[in-house]
Amino acid sequence: MDEVEQVAKMHTTRVGVLGGGQLGQMLALAAQRLGVPVTILDPAGMDSPAGRVSGRAVCGSFTDPAKIAELAALVDVITVEIEHVDAEALARVGASCDVKIHPSPATIALIQDKLLQKQHLLKAAAARQESIPMGDFCETADVEAVLSAGERWGYPLMLKARKGAYDGRGNAVVASASDASSAFSSLSAGGVVQLYAERWCPFSKELAVMVVRDVHGRTAAYPTVETVQRDSMCHTVVAPANVSAAMRAEAMRVASAAIATMEGAGIFGVELFAMPDGAVLLNEIAPRPHNSGHYTMDACHVSQFENHLRAVVQLPLGSCEMKVGAAAMLNVIGAADGTIEATLQPIARAIRLREASVHWYGKSPPKPKRKMGHINVTGSDGKRVAQLLEALEGSSDPAARSPIVGVIMGSDSDLPTMRAAAEVLTEFDVPFELTIVSAHRTPQRLYEYAASAEDRGIRTIIAGAGGAAHLPGMVAAITPLPVIGVPVKTSTLSGNDSLLSIVQMPRGVPVATVAIGNAANAGLLAVRMLGMADVQLRQKMQDFMRRQETEVLQKATKLEQGGWESYQS
């Protein structure tokens, strides 16, 4: 009964959330589905995006100690949807009331100050003898410190407010020593705001990893995603990130290691930089659900919001795996002209897109640069979701299908044989590309074709060649995709040369070889392979096989009834 008792807690553990924006709203939606009672603290109370969904709210500021205490009296656990809360007040409430706070006020305070956050990670990594790589940074109490950082690192460098910055606000690029003074005064607002400097980081991509941590300190990480900023705001997120698997794994390792050093339970958003040399540097952490994890709502078994709830009410953490091949998210930002019409443009496209899910936060009226909603798209692979993202932005036709089978041949003299594969793929409505790649006359093209096939969305390659037929085997040596070899019939050895050149591959590099000259079977084999993960295509193959059977049975009847003497096929 232990497990059942644990689960029963999700209906009795009252959760309070500081902040009633869209993150709180999506948390409340997940809570409603699970049956977790949630109360929101927000100035707009029941009229906040989150309050409208949770059905329970306290009106007041999430930075007001009295209001936090009022919320604490109503709930068993307090959590946050925004890190700009009064961490000290939160700590006092935690000490004086019978309420748990996740993540811990200490963690929130630590993360609020980006300089302390980085210093903590540096120290914790050293103590644990673990690597949490970060770019260089230093405290800059005055302009002198900025100039000295510039001398050490060169320019440009980043000057940042230690606290309260978001969506690019509170950051400035110091282009040269002569800019240091003005950047320092404008950001520090006459010494009121504390600053620190970061060495310029020439990253190739921005990555993010959502990490959920339970009360026992166990963590689980969602896949590494790529975030694209526009005007200093998150514009799109692509999951998984289109970087090497090694970099994705390293980002997940770094993010998990960083969150392991924090106190308290909940979900954390970890932003990282992918460097051109393959390294991954931690940028910063958010102690709450994060824009880069919105895709999980439609792409994962358990969303970031549900996992946050599970963590704070002490349910077992849920799976962070994706249930679809790939996903992406587009933020719907208040249009520059502030009109609802311009703002809704991407949603009008999404509503017509098969693979899109619309999320609208119900903030009205739209304000320029305000996050009004988001759109998730899901698909079988990164290629498809990239196309869907373009369609949402009005720059591509979602119906245009990119090829998933590559048909290549060593010479145009192979085309009369290879066209049968193209005909089969056309018949089964499988998008393909067809071209000439000669192993012996265009070896570099061969290498590039095979090496790029996977990233271009190709799932299998049909390669036809005759004589010393090296094309299929060489392609198979370069790509991890399955390669189907078609031995083309030759005049000297009737294709025996082609067959043996293709089929007799050494251990380690297989080529799926079909009969001499039988490119139709190569097409059919590609369809069967694609059908392994596509029940509709498998059904089409069944239908094809049934038609073949019927044709032969009809011929049998004709032969039986008409007699063999007068039979004509």
Query: What is the closest distance, in whole angstroms, from the C-beta atom of residue 325 to its own copies in the complex?
Result: 7
- Under rule CB under 8 A, which residues in 4-33 are in contact with its own copies? 4-8, 10-11, 25, 29, 32-33
Interface with its own copies by CB under 8 A: which range of 122-130, 143-151, 408-416, 539-547? Answer: 539-547
- Under rule CB under 8 A, which residues in 464-483 are in contact with its own copies? 477, 480-482
228 lines the binding site for its own copies (CB under 8 A)? no
Nearest to 110 by CA among 275, 285, 340, 311: 285
**CA 258 from centroid of its chain's CA atoms:** 20
Query: What is the closest distance, in whole angstroms, from the C-beta atom of residue 106 to its own copies in the complex?
Result: 29
Q: How far apart are CA 306 and CA 106, in angstroms?
A: 23
Query: What is the closest distance, in whole angstroms, from the C-beta atom of residue 374 to its own copies in the complex?
Result: 11
Our CB check for its own copies shows the closer of 199 and 470 to be 470
Our CB check for its own copies shows the closer of 163 and 489 to be 489
Q: Compute the chain's Rg from CA coordinates.
A: 30
- Under rule CB under 8 A, which residues in 410-429 are in contact with its own copies? 420
Single out the residue of 446, 484, 498, 501 in contact with its own copies (rule: CB under 8 A): 484
Residue labelled with tokens 């100050």:
113
Residues 6+ away with beta carbon under 8 Å from 228: 206, 234, 235, 236, 237, 238
Single out the residue of 121, 243, 302, 439 in contact with its own copies (rule: CB under 8 A): 302
Q: Is the dihedral of CA 342, 345, 346, 348 positive or negative?
A: positive
Single out the residue of 459, 467, 490, 501 in contact with its own copies (rule: CB under 8 A): 459
Our CB check for its own copies shows the closer of 122 and 351 to be 351
Q: How far apart are CA 553 and CA 520, in angstroms?
A: 22
315 lines the binding site for its own copies (CB under 8 A)? yes
Residue labelled with tokens 């009795």:
12
Binding mask of the shown chain, residues 176 to 215, with x at each position contacting its own copies by CB under 8 A: ----------------------------------------
Query: What is the closest distance, in whole angstroms, from the C-beta atom of residue 85 to its own copies in the complex?
Result: 24
Single out the residue of 316, 394, 416, 443 in contact with its own copies (rule: CB under 8 A): 316
SS3 label, residue 215: coil
SS3 label, residue 33: helix
Phi, psi (5° rounding) for residue 40?
-100, 135
- Under rule CB under 8 A, which residues in 243-282 are in contact with its own copies? 245
Inter-residue contact 330 to 375 (CB < 8 Å): yes
Our CB check for its own copies shows the closer of 53 and 143 to be 53
148 lines the binding site for its own copies (CB under 8 A)? no
Single out the residue of 157, 221, 475, 529 in contact with its own copies (rule: CB under 8 A): 529
What the block records as the tokens of 23 is: 């993150």
Amino acid at 531: G
397 lines the binding site for its own copies (CB under 8 A)? no
Our CB check for its own copies shows the closer of 132 and 486 to be 486
505 lines the binding site for its own copies (CB under 8 A)? yes
What the block records as the tokens of 20 is: 């009633």
How many C-alpha atoms does 243 have within 13 Å on its Cβ side? Answer: 28
- Under rule CB under 8 A, which residues in 429-458 are in contact with its own copies? 454
Query: What is the closest distance, in whole angstroms, from the C-beta atom of residue 432 to its own copies in the complex?
Result: 14
Determine whether 41 is exposed, middle or buried from the number of CB atoms within 10 Å of its CB (0-12, 13-18, 19+).
Answer: buried
Nearest to 198 by CA among 171, 166, 237, 224: 171
Query: What is the closest distance, in whole angstroms, from the C-beta atom of residue 507 to its own copies in the complex?
Result: 5
Query: What is the closest distance, in whole angstroms, from the C-beta atom of residue 216 to its own copies in the complex?
Result: 16
Inter-residue contact 225 to 208 (CB < 8 Å): yes
Long-range CB pairs of 342-346 (<8 Å, 24+ gap) are 343/372, 345/394, 346/375, 346/392, 346/393, 346/394
Our CB check for its own copies shows the closer of 125 and 344 to be 344
98 lines the binding site for its own copies (CB under 8 A)? no
- Under rule CB under 8 A, which residues in 36-95 are in contact with its own copies? 46, 52-53, 55
Binding mask of the shown chain, residues 319 to 358, with x at each position contacting its own copies by CB under 8 A: x-x-xxx--------------xx--xx-xxx-xx-xxxxx
Inter-residue contact 130 to 115 (CB < 8 Å): no
Size of the site for its own copies (CB under 8 A): 98
556 lines the binding site for its own copies (CB under 8 A)? no
Q: Is the dihedral of CA 163, 166, 172, 173 positive or negative?
A: positive
Interface with its own copies by CB under 8 A: which range of 71-79, 157-165, 190-198, 315-323? Answer: 315-323
131 lines the binding site for its own copies (CB under 8 A)? no
What the block records as the tokens of 97 is: 């009331």
Residue labelled with tokens 């300190």:
217
385 lines the binding site for its own copies (CB under 8 A)? no
34 lines the binding site for its own copies (CB under 8 A)? yes
What does the DSSP 8-state code read for residue 57? E
Our CB check for its own copies shows the closer of 45 and 156 to be 45
Our CB check for its own copies shows the closer of 119 and 314 to be 314
How many C-alpha atoms does 136 have within 13 Å on its Cβ side? Answer: 10
Hey, which residues does 371 pair with through a beta bridge? 333
What the block records as the tokens of 431 is: 């998008």
Single out the residue of 542, 550, 554, 557 in contact with its own copies (rule: CB under 8 A): 542
What the block records as the tokens of 1 is: 């009964």
101 lines the binding site for its own copies (CB under 8 A)? no
Residues 6+ away with beta carbon under 8 Å from 369: 167, 231, 233, 333, 334, 336
Strands 432-436, 483-488: pairing kind: unpaired
569 lines the binding site for its own copies (CB under 8 A)? no
Single out the residue of 14, 367, 419, 538 in contact with its own copies (rule: CB under 8 A): 538
Our CB check for its own copies shows the closer of 186 and 548 to be 548
Cβ-based neighbour number of residue 267 at 10 Å:
34
